[in-house]
Amino acid sequence: MDTDELEPILKSKSIDFDTISISELEEYIEALNAEILKCKRYIESKHKDLVLAESIFKK
């Protein structure tokens, strides 16, 4: 079984940008950037695991 199937699917919240302030938009962008960074780190970790696994199971 592929572990990717076990990971939750992220659903984005619907935000009405017309109703929130500039500072709230800036906070939202900061939160999104933090999530992007977390995802990039997770991708790097998975890539390292993949490279390690391939090196172990190579013929």
In sequence order, what are the residues at sequence separation of 6 or more whose Cβ sits closer than 8 angstroms to the Cβ of residue 25? 17
- Please give the structure tokens belonging to residue 27: 């906070």
Which residue in this structure is represented by tokens 């013929």? 59
pLDDT one-digit tens code per residue, 4-57: 556 666 667 788 999 999 999 999 999 999 999 999 999 999 999 999 999 998
* pTM, rounded to two decimals: 0.65
DSSP H or E stretch at residue 7:
none
